[in-house]
Amino acid sequence: MKIATRDILGLISKPNPNYLAYLFYGHDDGLVRERARKIALHFTDQIDDPFSVSRLSGLDVAKDRTLLPDSLNELPAFGGVRLVMLSGMGTEMTEAVKIGFNSLHGMARLVIEARDVNTRHALVKFCDQHVSCASVGCYQDDNRSLSDLAQQVFKRENIQISRDTLSLLVSQLGSDRAVSRQEIEKMALFAGSNGKLTEEDIHDALGDSGAVIGDQITIAILNGNVTQFKQIYSRSQQDGQPPISLLRQILSLFRNMLSARLTMETGKTSTAAISSLKPPIHYKIKPVVTAQLSKWTSDQLTEMIGRLIATEIDMKTKSTVNPSTLTGQTLLGIVLRSRNLNQ
């Protein structure tokens, strides 16, 4: 049976006894592995015990169609439920799974991790329609699911984290569940039990050298410091930082500044307007942005955003342009505009 997204967490925490098999598939391999392991631990506390758990690959069952039924029917050495863990390419496993499902019974559970499949694949369609199988799609995390994951980990360790800091953490995570969990666990270890996490902690622990250079370029641009900008931008290109990443960072900055500027036009202070942004601005550049915000009008910020978008379009559509040179010229133009505003 196909499991609706809203019901997945409930199933993982408390499996329905009517399901004798579980299929996990989707684009997020880390999430597939995590959910398969969580389900498996409901049926054994020794997931690596060969006497109660059989581990099979797609190639194994493709070569020998009797292997999966035999594994399901094998009695555990010390009683209890027989657990069979099957993983591999969906195409390898489809026919073997169809045969194996004829051997499903109450004293065995089958957990399948399938790669290279989507909702239209024969294996998924078969499991979706089988009443004894829970078919679970595992897709890349969105901000809400990452936030939920982080809060679960921090609650376990009784770690305090503000809403803004949590939002910043989520913005630093990627799309693979396993990698995201590692980063969250790293932050939990960093804080310690009963500890507290701040924005500075997130930046210090998850930041990288590219982000540091990007912040330095941002400060140079907002202060209108031409010499400093040229030096830092040249160094960033020597270090191999993609110009498109810098361009997008500055584009994101000016979009945030425009949002804050429009908020100021409703009567709020620049400090209040900056503090309302989600995710929050890096603490190292926050004072500079706050100070410079009153010097830019919403029309000027909109113009800069237009320039940055046009530059990105040119980079993607004109094969003759040098991305590093084009980005440098665009950002230098913004530095010069900023210098005029700071005089």
pLDDT tens string 310-323: 998 888 887 777 88
Please state, rounded to an integer, the average pLDDT across all residues of the chain: 87
pLDDT tens string 190-246: 899 999 998 888 877 765 445 567 778 888 899 999 998 998 888 888 777 788 888
Any idea which of 11-15, 168-172, 338-342 has the lowest mean pLDDT?
Answer: 168-172
Q: Do residues 124 and 41 both lie within one domain? A: yes
Q: Do residues 217 and 323 both lie within one domain? A: yes
Q: Do residues 95 and 123 both lie within one domain? A: yes
Task: Tell which of 137, 172, 187 closes a domain.
Answer: 137
Q: Give Cα separations from 60 to 54, 64, 86, 176, 260 (angstroms).
A: 12, 6, 9, 27, 59
| Domain residue limits at 196 | 143-206
Q: Do residues 129 and 165 both lie within one domain? A: no
Q: Do residues 264 and 276 both lie within one domain? A: yes
Q: Do residues 95 and 112 both lie within one domain? A: yes
pLDDT tens string 12-59: 999 999 999 999 998 778 889 989 999 999 999 888 888 889 999 999
Distance CA 177, CA 145 (A): 10
Tell me the CATH number at 319: 1.20.272.10
Residue with the two structure tokens 């496993």: 93
Task: Tell which of 154, 174, 206 closes a domain.
Answer: 206
Q: Give Cα separations from 12 to 157, 185, 258 (angstroms).
A: 21, 20, 43
Tell me the CATH number at 149: 1.10.8.60
Number of folded domains that form the chain: 3
pTM above 0.85, yes or no: no
Please state the separation of Cα 291 from the chain's center in Å: 33
Q: Do residues 232 and 312 both lie within one domain? A: yes
Amino acid type, 68: L
In this predicted structure, the answer to whether residue 282 has a pLDDT above a threshold of 80 is no
Task: Return the higher-pLDDT residue of 76 and 221.
Answer: 221
Q: Do residues 225 and 283 both lie within one domain? A: yes
> What was the pLDDT predicted at 75?
81
Please give the structure tokens belonging to residue 93. Answer: 């496993």
